[in-house]
Amino acid sequence: MFKVAMIGAGSVVFVKKLLTDILGLPDLHDVTISLHDINAERLETAGMMARWTAEQFGANARVEEHLDRRAALADADFVINMVQIGMHEATLLDFEIPRKYGLKQTIADTLGIGGIFRGLRTIPFMVDMVGDMRELCPDALLLNYTNPMSILTQAVYEAFPEQKVVGLCHNVQNTAADLAEYLNVPVERLSYDCAGINHQTWFLKLRIDGEDAYPRLWQAMEDPQIFAKDKVRFELMRSFGWFVSESSEHNAEYTPYFLKRDDLIAEYDVPVDEYIRRSERNLGRYQDTRKQLLAGESFPLERSVEYGSQIIHAMVTGEPEVIYGNVKNTKLIENLPEDCCVEVPIIVDRNGLRPCHVGKLPPELAGYCAPHTFVQDLTVKAALQGSRDRVHRAVLLDRHAASVLSIKEIRAMVEELIEAHGDAMPEGIRNSLRASEKAKRYA
Amino acid sequence: MFKVAMIGAGSVVFVKKLLTDILGLPDLHDVTISLHDINAERLETAGMMARWTAEQFGANARVEEHLDRRAALADADFVINMVQIGMHEATLLDFEIPRKYGLKQTIADTLGIGGIFRGLRTIPFMVDMVGDMRELCPDALLLNYTNPMSILTQAVYEAFPEQKVVGLCHNVQNTAADLAEYLNVPVERLSYDCAGINHQTWFLKLRIDGEDAYPRLWQAMEDPQIFAKDKVRFELMRSFGWFVSESSEHNAEYTPYFLKRDDLIAEYDVPVDEYIRRSERNLGRYQDTRKQLLAGESFPLERSVEYGSQIIHAMVTGEPEVIYGNVKNTKLIENLPEDCCVEVPIIVDRNGLRPCHVGKLPPELAGYCAPHTFVQDLTVKAALQGSRDRVHRAVLLDRHAASVLSIKEIRAMVEELIEAHGDAMPEGIRNSLRASEKAKRYA
Amino acid sequence: MFKVAMIGAGSVVFVKKLLTDILGLPDLHDVTISLHDINAERLETAGMMARWTAEQFGANARVEEHLDRRAALADADFVINMVQIGMHEATLLDFEIPRKYGLKQTIADTLGIGGIFRGLRTIPFMVDMVGDMRELCPDALLLNYTNPMSILTQAVYEAFPEQKVVGLCHNVQNTAADLAEYLNVPVERLSYDCAGINHQTWFLKLRIDGEDAYPRLWQAMEDPQIFAKDKVRFELMRSFGWFVSESSEHNAEYTPYFLKRDDLIAEYDVPVDEYIRRSERNLGRYQDTRKQLLAGESFPLERSVEYGSQIIHAMVTGEPEVIYGNVKNTKLIENLPEDCCVEVPIIVDRNGLRPCHVGKLPPELAGYCAPHTFVQDLTVKAALQGSRDRVHRAVLLDRHAASVLSIKEIRAMVEELIEAHGDAMPEGIRNSLRASEKAKRYA
Amino acid sequence: MFKVAMIGAGSVVFVKKLLTDILGLPDLHDVTISLHDINAERLETAGMMARWTAEQFGANARVEEHLDRRAALADADFVINMVQIGMHEATLLDFEIPRKYGLKQTIADTLGIGGIFRGLRTIPFMVDMVGDMRELCPDALLLNYTNPMSILTQAVYEAFPEQKVVGLCHNVQNTAADLAEYLNVPVERLSYDCAGINHQTWFLKLRIDGEDAYPRLWQAMEDPQIFAKDKVRFELMRSFGWFVSESSEHNAEYTPYFLKRDDLIAEYDVPVDEYIRRSERNLGRYQDTRKQLLAGESFPLERSVEYGSQIIHAMVTGEPEVIYGNVKNTKLIENLPEDCCVEVPIIVDRNGLRPCHVGKLPPELAGYCAPHTFVQDLTVKAALQGSRDRVHRAVLLDRHAASVLSIKEIRAMVEELIEAHGDAMPEGIRNSLRASEKAKRYA
């Protein structure tokens, strides 16, 4: 018997996806699923979904709902974090205020101005929750699915060096599926070797049945129909030499190349404000799911590509698995900064997670990823140290913001965002003056 | 008796400055000064200047002029490099072609598109000259004064790991003088602790008579007259928290904040195309100096702030000196990439140069410098490996170019520059196809 | 179809063991087995054995015998090295000469005076063979089973940084079986986390069904019958806190604690000269096997614990495996010297081998292993650089030799061994003078 | 005006030496000398000596005596530590108990069983005193002269990472004087480049007037009269290739080569129990000095080779100095363990101390020093963590003890020493059980 706590279980669709994976494995049937959300209705819905799923697989899972997070965490073996702090309203601010200054975004949840502010308002929650974990389930592994992935994972290991934590995403798996489509082969025939930072993990090697598939991919790119499916990422491959994880819409906002001018937005089909639309759709999707549950309808039960269930299986049974996860850079990628958060292959078994040594990335890829690691580091330090200055410096070093705005525009935009998010900002940031303001006082 | 070879001695004004420093030290009078240039008239002028200077100090220096570089290098103890490859004409190309694409520059000799191409056309010369040194004076120390400083110094230690080399600049000393002016104290009362990369070395500590001088500098900045003297660097201090070396005109082109729009150029008084004017003035200055020499006129004989003579003195006499110099990052600055070229304090004595361990830069400063180290690394590798792709990638990662141009504009601009510089480009770059071109052939 | 070359295939018993593992996996039936030995009769025997084994498993393996090593290597995908250079005669010298000076040994194949000299005479062969591989099968993975494991593996990656190589041993697997016996549980219920250097890999974590098994092991040790089975290793656990891999007889000669006095040899049951007896038994075993083959007799066909077949299976099929192997310390174990040869967990799949980051060993274990890494490093450098001095220094730093002999005795013993091994020593070592001898000439 | 606190000022002869150096520099006349000792008579004597010295140099130094250590430390700029914890009586135990087990020593203050126990009883004092410094003079630099140098310096930077500290010794300077004698040149003509750990710092380069002096030193060694002056260190140079710092009598006990047998002791003239005699002489010397002071006699006033006054001068005036000091290994010596305590060149100026990057030691020298760094690390951790096990493991890894004794003899000796030192041992060590004892309880 082991216990999985799901924090932010109101994300019912995602809960169902993970439970389908977990309960679909007979070795994991003897489990306590402990759900937590602050929204009672959503929590109830998640509980219904969990019970329905367990029933389908004939699993003797014990499902608990807790409005009290501490009760959910107590004695957990695995804690899966999937909260969204601030919800749709905060997301709107992250889009609208920058847009007013001329800074457009597509997803805004990872890097850039949106990622930074999502990080700032989520880190206090992470510190609080992991503080509880240290007390209530100190040996549990934290599987973090909440974005911004790298920022939150790094915040955890900086604030709690003893905490076992891994940041999880599906960007590698989904990109593999994309590549299989462009190469017109079943994804099972692909093998690959990836490394980088989350959403900028590079397919360093790509093979079909063991043979290098890159020449074929370069050819595929020349087909305008294929190119059109992934314009930003193919242009990046043409420029930097390797294919990058995640998607064109995400990658468009991580660099200064695609979003700074209207002609480029048009040329590369960049879907500005895309995440606002997705966020609205997610609201609808939740409502539909609840209705279907109440009506006793069925849901499909297919395994997903998420690593969560594989990690739990490997740690519970001892059968090793290899996954991609986000962890502290203990010299794993030698030419990215030490202690930044990197995405690398990891062995999982009963001993927990053992990340692999990657060595050096090609210098163009390290140079592409490195600036983001400093933005992430400054965001984490801004939140943990309560430094308003470091929020500004994080944004000043963001490649996209710096390509569109002046220093003074960035300064005004950041101040307006801090003001607009109000109590959601870490207390130290709200209450601190910038160095230049302090300096004026001396004068 | 020891021997100093000066390569590119046609830079007569600079030769005179260094020789005034060297021959002004009685311990160094017993020296052979071996001058080399490929321009016979300039070489003759340099010889006249060297003899005049030696005479003023009563030094028994032996002055030799060599059109043959190998003769100049043979058995040298110190080799001072001050060449300029391509001269005024190449510099014009580096300004004019980017300007056509909308990319403005001020000095264009360090970083950015101008620094990259100046590097590309100078590295083959460096490899050739240091190859001769390995044969003719393998124990000599190379003091490199030629720009782009970091790129050329790194090219030397990558191509010849055994070669003793240090890159030298006066950006720290000149900035100290600037700071003394803004703080209204004699420079002798200042002490400071600096580290970073050349032209982006940060005054981590700044003291007047041992007391922290930063509060006073923040106050001084509030005086509009003082701010007006160094707008870019004061804005950078306000934003990032520390004062940076070099000058506002240089720094304007190293970041995306000051040169991308006309309003910013106006606001920060950025002198676009400044180096073209300086380069023209230098031509005139040479002519005047030659005339004065031929007319038997006198020149002032004041010590400069250059480190060259101090290094030679320390190595010849064994009396230790502490200088700032550019060397391979053997974990000296822990959060800049290993093996990049860093500017740090160095002990010099009879054992040669021993750089100091700095530790970690504040993360905002490491994040500010790091992108440039990747551009420098890619430029070095492009030239040494003959990779046209890596030229493109160096420019794509330049913070200023990426903030102004699209990928396709960068691509076209780089191709046009490679074409325009013709034989000055490393053979491998001229003859290689980009990966995407190669890929088309497969199709 | 893939090709496995077995070099030193005259070790017929070991060939049979590996082939049983490989051909026992249906995924690996479509293979070319290319056997090489310099002894024609042994090679013929190995071929017979290989064909018999393939037949038992119904594998369509193609078996080739080559007296010409280059023919065996050509186009191989995997090269398995199992040679023994110098054979029984050289081994006798490695025991007898040191014994004359008072230095006793048990196995003499890994570390200490015997390991050093076995390394010195095998490195020239390794350099020669891997030189051929660079030409004939540059992408092949070298699986080295020959001792001294760490010294030979390090020699390969130092001499050929591009060569893919892993050193393989069964010390972890066998120790797990020993521990299962002492703990009286089936080995399948044990899980463990190990790291260190070959033959000194520590069981940092040891669990039965996921629960810490160390308290139970400390109790088991108090049972005199169990203690008596593994006296040296239990005494080491009592002293240093963790259980070490390999066996008591090996470990006895790696430290200064058990072999320096007769009372200690008696107390800890140390089997002096053990390997001489084993080596003689091996000769007999080969003869018996040949006879049985010629007589058409059968052999058992049980899978072994060797990792070879798992590695090949993972790389051929892409199904990941986790093994323990010996590789270059690219900061994997942070408190052992960089670039030494460490034994760590490794992921194997179609991308090859990706070693895991271990972090720091407990300081007592790092302090226990570190001296040996310097001995290994000096042995490798002695052989590759042809430095007689470094042979002496390797032995001076060996913990056991230094505890028994004086500097002058070590000096005489080393000189006598170099002399006795004659042409088997690297040419540079035979022909070089020690620094002190050279110095005398100046006098 | 600045303040120097001298802790353990009852070492009157050493106080006088340092004050002669400090007050002999006119720049340092305006100083407060604050003396502390727990012995009132010795403290009074030190005060008399300090006033006498100040008077000789016409310095307006203010001399204070404090039996209260906190008063002495308050607002100090420099704290010089020269205490001896346990005095003569504890030293006798450190010699006598090991000798009973057959373990002989010469000085017993640095490494080996004597150094370990001297470290264990001094670390609690260091932690206590530096704890006071953090409160009363947090910016002061601690200059530690007390042995065991490396162990105590490491204990300070491990327990108080923010504390500025350097360990100081005269082993490099004295060895330079020895070498000058053997080479028959004035020491001023020597230059050298050293690195290693305290008392095992190697003269990597040695020059006379800039020319390599090693060939001449190898010749000098062949002269039996010169060899006889420094038998152990010459034998080490002959064996390892470089000359080591400190002295033959110290070095004899750091290795397994010279003290394990009576014939070796005789051959190398090793002065067993030497420090007991010195310690007795020191007692007499103090008595004589006090008498002379009371009688109004004069003392010589020659500068010593100690670095203390140079460091203070450089930090007070800002004129840089280069010294050798002991600091945390922040990758300064790449092939010694990170964070161990290394002796390297250091720049001192108003910014404090900046240690130099050394790179890799020759592997034989790193292999020679590395075992000691683990012993030191274990001793520090034993004391700070209160781990009786780690005391045992430190001794087990000592090269000399392990070459003479068995594990059980070491175990008994360590237990007897812990018992004999009683309250002087850190409380955690006195009260903790060894792992094997704890294990027995489970049984």
Q: What is the pLDDT of residues D433-442, one digit of tens each?
A: 787 777 665 5
User: How far is D118 from B297, CA to CA, in rounded Å?
Assistant: 73
Place of tokens 């977990």: A22
Q: Chain C: nearest CA to A324, how far in angstroms?
A: 12
| Separation in Å, CA of D435 to nearest CA in chain C | 7
Any CB–CB contact under 8 A between B360 and chain D?
A: no
Which sequence positions of B are flagged as catalytic?
Answer: 170
Look at residue A146 and give its three-state secondary structure: coil
CB C244 within 8 A of CB C206: no
Q: Give bridge partners of residue C141 from the DSSP assignment.
A: C78, C164
Cα C280–chain centre separation: 19
The pLDDT > 70 percentage for chain B reads 99
Does the distance separating the beta carbons of D356 and B318 come in below 8 Å? no
Contact list, A439 vs chain B (CB under 8 Å): 215, 218-219, 221-222
**What is the DSSP code (8-state) at residue B103?**
-
Which of D392, D381, D314 lies closest to D354 in space, CA to CA?
Answer: D314
Return the partners of chain A (3 or more C-beta pairs < 8 Å): B, C
Characterize the bridge pairing of strands A2-7 and A78-81.
Answer: parallel
CA gap B401, B409 in Å, rounded: 10
Give Cα C413 to chain centroid, integer Å.
24
What is the C-alpha to C-alpha distance for residues A193 and C64, in angstroms, rounded to an integer? 34
Confidence grade of residue B439 (pLDDT, cut at 50, 70, 90): low
Whether B218 sits inside 8 A of A381 (CB atoms) is: no
Residues of B in contact with A397 (CB under 8 A): 364, 367-368
Block residue for tokens 């928290």 = B241
Mean of per-residue pLDDT scores for chain D: 96
| pLDDT tens figures, C183-212 | 999 999 999 999 999 999 999 999 998 899
pTM: 0.94
Minimal Cβ distance to B381: which of A238, A337, A363? A363
- Please write the tens of the pLDDT for every residue from A351-408: 899 999 999 999 999 999 999 999 999 999 999 999 999 999 999 999 999 999 999 9
DSSP state for residue C434 in the 8-state scheme: P
CB–CB of C355 and A359 under 8 A? Answer: no
Closest alpha carbon to D62 in D37, D36, D84, D33: D33
List the catalytic residues of A: 170
Give me the long-range contacts of D298-304 (CB less than 8 A, separation at least 24). Answer: D299/D16, D299/D52, D301/D20, D301/D24, D301/D53, D301/D56, D301/D57, D302/D20, D303/D20, D303/D21, D303/D24, D304/D17, D304/D18, D304/D20, D304/D21, D304/D170
CB contact under 8 A, B356 and D357: yes
Given a cut of 60, whether residue B443 has pLDDT beyond it is: no
Interface of D with C in 197-216 (CB under 8 A): 215
Among D321, D345, D350, beta carbon nearest to B191: D350
pLDDT at site B441? 58
Q: Are strands C341-349 and C352-355 parallel, antiparallel or unpaired?
A: antiparallel
The pLDDT of residue D203: 98
Angle at A433 between CA A432 and CA A435, to 5 degrees: 125
**Largest pairwise CA distance in chain C:** 73
Matching residue, tokens 């951790």: D381
Q: Fill in the amino acid letter for A133.
A: M
Spatial CA neighbour of D120 closest among D437, D434, D421: D421
pLDDT of amino acid A442: 54
Q: Which of D191, D330, D334 sits opposite B359 (nearest CB)?
A: D330
pLDDT tens digits along A63-90? 999 999 999 999 999 999 999 999 899 9
Q: Tell me if A335 sits within 8 A of B336, measured CB to CB.
A: no
Give the gap in angstroms from C-alpha B273 to the nearest C-alpha of chain D. 39
**Tens digit of each residue's pLDDT (9 = 90 or more) over A134-187:** 999 999 999 999 999 999 999 999 999 999 999 999 999 999 999 999 999 999
CA distances from B401 to A113, B199, B236, B370 (A): 21, 18, 19, 16
**How many percent of chain D have pLDDT more than 90?**
95
Q: What is the Cα–Cα distance from C39 to C85, expressed in whole angstroms?
A: 12
Put simply, the answer to whether D399 touches C396 (Cβ < 8 Å) is no
Phi, psi of D433 (to 5 degrees): -95, 155
pLDDT digits (tens, 9 = 90+) for C206-237: 999 889 999 999 999 999 999 999 999 999 99
Contacts of A85 (CB under 8 A, 6+ apart): A118, A121, A122, A125, A424
H or E element that contains D44: helix D40-57
DSSP three-state, residue C64:
strand
Q: Mutate which of C374, C392, C414 to disrupt the D interface (most D C-beta within 10 Å)?
A: C374
Topology (CATH level 3) of domain C2-87+109-166: Rossmann fold (3.40.50)
Give chain C positions within 8 Å (CB) of D393: 239-241, 364, 367
For C52, the token pair is 């018999």
Distances (CA, A) of A86 to A121, A162, A301: 8, 28, 31
From first CA to last CA, the distance across chain D in angstroms is 66
Cα A118 to chain center, whole Å?
Answer: 11
Residue-wise over B188-222: b if at least 16 C-beta within 10 A, else e? eebbbbbbbbbbbbbbbbbbbeeeebbebbbbbbe
Side-chain-facing half-sphere of D381: CA atoms under 13 Å: 16
Choosing from D36, D66, D170, D250, the catalytic residue is D170
Assess D359–B contact: CB distance below 8 Å, yes or no: yes
Chains D and A touch (3+ CB pairs under 8 A): no
- Contact between A364 and B374 using a beta-carbon 8 Å cutoff: yes
CA atoms of D383 and D116, how far apart (whole Å): 10
Mean pLDDT within A12-20: 97
The alpha-carbon gap from A333 to the nearest alpha carbon of chain C, in Å, equals: 11
Q: What is the pLDDT of residues B230-263, one digit of tens each?
A: 999 999 999 999 999 999 999 999 999 999 999 9
Rg of chain C over Cα atoms, rounded to whole angstroms, equals 22
Q: Is the ipTM of this complex over 0.95?
A: yes
Radius of gyration, CA atoms only, chain A: 22
Select B88-108+167-272+306-443's CATH number: 2.60.40.3140, 3.90.110.10, 2.60.40.420, 3.30.565.10: 3.90.110.10
Nearest to A222 among B367, B377, B443 (CB): B443
Minimal-distance CA residue of chain B relative to A443: B219
For residue C44, count CB atoms less than 10 angstroms from its CB and return exposed for 0-12, middle for 13-18, buried for 19 or more.
Answer: middle
Which residue blocks in B356-434 are alpha helix, DSSP H? Answer: 363-385, 388-397, 399-404, 407-421, 427-431
Q: What's chain C's average pLDDT?
A: 96
Mean pLDDT of D168-197: 97
Task: Mark which residues 213-232 of A lie under 8 Å from B by CB.
Answer: 215, 218-219, 221-222
Q: Which of B150, B120, B125, B85 is nearest to B428 (CA)?
A: B120
Residues 396-415 of C with CB under 8 A from D: 396-397, 399, 402-404, 406-407, 411
- Tell me which residue of C44, C3, C11, C118 sits closest to C417, measured CA to CA: C118
DSSP letter for each residue of A73-125: HTT-SEEEE---SSHHHHHHHHHHHHHHTT---S--SSSHHHHHHHHHHHHHH
Q: How far apart (Å, rounded) are the C-alpha atoms in residues A91 and B69?
A: 65
Whole-angstrom Cα Rg for chain D: 22
What is the spatial distance between Cα B415 and Cα C209, in angstroms, rounded to a whole number?
A: 63
Burial of A83 by CB count in 10 Å (0-12 exposed, 13-18 middle, 19+ buried)?
A: buried
Q: What pLDDT does residue D248 have?
A: 97
> What CA–CA distance (Å, rounded) separates C144 from C165?
7
Q: Are B125 and B83 in contact (CB under 8 A)?
A: yes
Residue ranges of D 235-264 with Cβ closer than 8 A to chain C: 235, 238-241, 255-257, 260-261, 264
- Residue A102 forms contact with B (CB below 8 Å): no
* pLDDT value at D362 more than 90: yes
CB-CB neighbors (< 8 A) of C334 in chain D: 338
Task: Using the structure block, give the residue that is written with the tokens 């998607």.
Answer: A247
* Residue in B360, B256, B338, B407 with CA at minimum distance from that of residue A397: B256
Determine the Cα–Cα distance for residues D213 and D204; give it in Å rounded to an integer: 11
Q: Are A149 and A110 in contact (CB under 8 A)?
A: yes
Residue C443 has pLDDT above 80, yes or no: no
Instruction: Select the residue of D322, D332, D354 nearest B320 (Cβ to Cβ).
Output: D322
Look at residue A64 in the predicted model and tell me its pLDDT.
98
H or E element at residue B17: helix B12-23
Q: State residue D442's pLDDT score.
A: 54
Whether B191 sits inside 8 A of D358 (CB atoms) is: no
In chain C, where does the domain assigned CATH 3.90.110.10 lie?
Answer: 88-108+167-272+306-443
The identity of residue D95, as a single letter, is F
Chain C contact partners (≥3 CB pairs within 8 A): A, D
Residue C439 has pLDDT above 70, yes or no: no
From the candidates A403, A437, A438, A440, which should be mutated to test the interface with B, based on the most B CB atoms within 10 A? A403
Best residue of A206, A322, A348 to probe chain C, by most C CBs closer than 10 Å? A322
All residues of chain C having their beta carbon less than 8 Å from the beta carbon of residue A357 are 330-332, 354-357
Question: Where residue D108 falls among pLDDT bands split at 50, 70, 90?
Answer: very high
Separation CA D392–CA D379 (nearest Å):
9
Search chain C and give the residue with CA nearest A331. C331
Domain with CATH 3.40.50.720 in chain A: 2-87+109-166
